[in-house]
Amino acid sequence: MSQLPNMKDIGIIDVKFGQNVTVVNPVNLYGCSIGDNSFIGPFVEIQKNVTIGNNCRIQSHSFICELVTIGNNCFISHGAKFINDLFSSGAPARDGKDSWKATSIGNNVSIGTNATILPVKIVDNVVVGAGSVVTKDILESGVYAGNPATKIR
């Protein structure tokens, strides 16, 4: 005999929305803040303690974990992923947020399809190429690509 699993509904819970925000369902948004004139595509998860600035586009299948701040006029392309746990102990952090690290994304930043962003700081006016893995702070405007991402122009 089979038992039913413990089901959790996806949806929008405790989100602070700015003016003129568009959200395409299905999404999983909870405990976050999304600025004016921003767009959230389908199959996106944005966790609590995330701030998305004004005039941003978060494209489908993106995952933005806790402790991420994204500035204004940013573009997060399809399938981009943010990481807050560096697995410092060789396994997922058992103490949760106490071991997690924050990520700060400046203004006018574009992050390409399937990029992975570890806990870093990225300054204003940066482009991160598709498939790139950002492992270190980006402290100078420009175009970055690769694994690990490096400045290419």
Q: How many Cα atoms occupy the beta-carbon half-sphere of 34 within 13 Å?
A: 25
Torsional class of 31: left (φ above 0), alpha (ψ -120 to 50), beta (otherwise):
left
Residue 150 sits at the vertex; the CA angle it makes with 72 and 100, to the nearest 5 degrees, is 60
Write the pLDDT tens digit of every residue in 21-39: 999 999 999 999 999 999 9
The whole-angstrom distance between residue 117's C-alpha and the CA centroid of its chain comes to: 8
Write the pLDDT tens digit of every residue in 109-148: 999 999 999 999 999 999 999 999 999 999 999 999 999 9
Query: In the chain, where are the structural domains located?
Result: 12-151
What's the CATH number of domain 12-151, 3.40.50.360, 2.40.340.10, 2.160.10.10, 1.20.1560.10?
2.160.10.10
pTM for the predicted model, two decimal places: 0.94
